[in-house]
């Protein structure tokens, strides 16, 4: 039997993203959303989450390209010295983590502290968090994964996104970017280590995340192709719906034109009533994971 978590990332990014999340959940399409603690429309998203207990809400931990909860002095390796914002470049973040002498141990401590602060910031406002994941999937790197999981576990969270896309989903992706495909295939080499860490830290997860390679090009045909190929197990469909409005135009994101397309394309989920839609809250340790 196939079960699917339909999750919207970037909840809180703009009022238009929040509106799309609320509408798609009311339409029985979305089951889950990942909430950013310090985004433009976080307060609005929190009100939606509190008023919609049937929507699973996770903490979308932002360690790159965003605003931190902690002050700069507490996380000097994660923020720019002049701006106080998190570094915008993922490549730069990884270079500091892996190649800058003497910075890795400090960065790991700061990652755990900032993740804990973002989780607490949402929980203190009454949000009941069902899972943890990260902006730009940075928790697929083991040095990031473990401190994020430790912060989540301390806050009572026990479910995490499996950020790796299964081979069957890659094959079902229509007209993928070959550069993006190569990146995803290369990063899959990290999966065994990450799955071991997830198990060691006592977390539950899915069999994998689909539509990663198709991010930015998830139209009706793409959704239909992926769901037509869905394998038995529990999977997450990662999405980025929204409204391409004036507020979104103020945000630095490559996912601008695609948000309207995804919002409309996700209605195709309703064409697959045989697929049970669930949330991270339904995951149980004994539940078998999907086939890779």
- What's the pLDDT score for residue 228? 97
Helix H segments across the chain? 15-26, 42-51, 90-99, 104-123, 142-154, 167-172, 178-187, 191-200, 220-228, 246-249, 257-265
Whether the pTM exceeds 0.85: the reply is: yes
SS3 5: strand
3-state SS assignment for residue 35: strand
In sequence order, the β-bridge partners of residue 6 are: 237
> How many angstroms separate the Cα of 83 from the Cα of each of 28, 111, 113, 137, 169?
41, 18, 19, 23, 40
* Region 269-283 average pLDDT: 96
Dist. CA 212–CA 140, nearest whole Å = 13
Residue listed under structure tokens 């609320």: 22
pLDDT surpasses 90 at 56: yes
**Does the structure show a pLDDT above 70 at 108?**
yes
Which residue has better confidence, 183 or 100?
A: 183
- For residue range 37-52, list pLDDT tens digits in order: 999 999 999 999 999 9
Angle between helices 90-99 and 142-154 (to 10 degrees): 100
Average model confidence (pLDDT) across the chain: 92
Give CA–CA dist 178/175, Å, rounded: 9
Closest CA relative to residue 238, chosen from 226, 247, 250: 226
Q: What CATH class does 2-282 carry?
A: alpha beta
Query: Tokens for 77?
Result: 């390796």
Task: Report pLDDT for 177.
Answer: 80
Q: Are the C-beta atoms of 60 and 10 separated by less than 8 Å?
A: yes
Q: What is the pLDDT of residues 10-43, one digit of tens each?
A: 999 999 999 999 999 999 999 999 999 999 999 9
CA distance 184 to 239: 16
Cβ atoms of residues 111 and 69 within 8 Å: no
User: Encoding tokens for residue 266?
Assistant: 């996700």
Nearest Cα neighbor of 39 from 77, 70, 11, 64 is 11
Of residues 20 and 245, more confidently modeled: 20
Length of the chain: 292
Contact 52, 22 (CB under 8 A): yes
Least confident segment among 29-38, 74-83, 127-136, 153-162: 74-83
- Binned at pLDDT 50, 70 and 90, residue 285 comes out as low
Instruction: State yes or no: pLDDT of 182 exceeds 50.
Output: yes
Condensed to tens digits (0 to 9), the pLDDT of residues 216-225 reads 889 999 999 9
pLDDT digits (tens, 9 = 90+) for 220-241: 999 999 999 999 999 999 999 9
CA angle 151, 153, 158 (to 5 degrees): 130
Which residues contact residue 178 at a Cβ distance below 8 angstroms, ignoring those fewer than 6 apart? Answer: none
- In eight-state DSSP terms, residue 10 is E
- Among residues 157, 3, 128, 122, which one has the least CA distance to residue 54? 128
């Amino acid at each position: 039997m196939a079960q699917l978590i339909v999750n919207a990332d970037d909840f809180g990014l703009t009022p238009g993203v929040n509106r799309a999340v609320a509408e798609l959940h009311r339409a029985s399409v979305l089951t889950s959303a990942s909430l950013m603690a310090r985004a433009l429309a976080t307060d609005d998203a929190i009100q939606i989450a509190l008023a919609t207990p049937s929507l699973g809400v996770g903490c979308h931990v932002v360690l790159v390209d965003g605003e931190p909860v902690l002050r700069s002095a507490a996380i000097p390796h994660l923020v720019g010295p002049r701006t106080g914002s998190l570094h915008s470049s993922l490549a730069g973040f990884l270079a500091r983590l892996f190649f800058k002498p003497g910075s890795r141990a400090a960065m790991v401590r700061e990652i755990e502290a900032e993740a804990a602060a973002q989780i607490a910031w949402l929980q203190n406002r009454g949000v009941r968090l069902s899972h943890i994941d990260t902006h730009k999937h940075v928790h697929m790197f083991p040095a990031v994964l473990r401190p994020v999981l430790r912060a989540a576990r301390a806050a009572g969270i026990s479910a995490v996104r499996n950020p790796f896309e299964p081979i069957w989903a890659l094959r079902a992706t229509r007209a993928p970017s070959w550069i993006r495909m190569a990146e995803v295939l290369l990063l899959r080499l990290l999966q065994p280590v990450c799955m071991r860490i997830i198990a060691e830290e006592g977390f539950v997860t899915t069999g994998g995340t689909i539509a990663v390679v198709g991010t930015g090009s998830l139209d009706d045909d793409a959704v239909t192709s992926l769901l037509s190929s869905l394998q038995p197990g529990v999977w997450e469909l990662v999405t980025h719906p929204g409204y391409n409005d004036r507020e979104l135009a103020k945000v630095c994101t490559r996912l601008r034109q695609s948000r309207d397309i995804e919002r409309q394309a996700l209605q195709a989920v309703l064409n697959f009533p045989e697929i049970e839609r669930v949330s991270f809250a339904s995951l149980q340790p004994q539940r078998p994971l999907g086939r890779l």
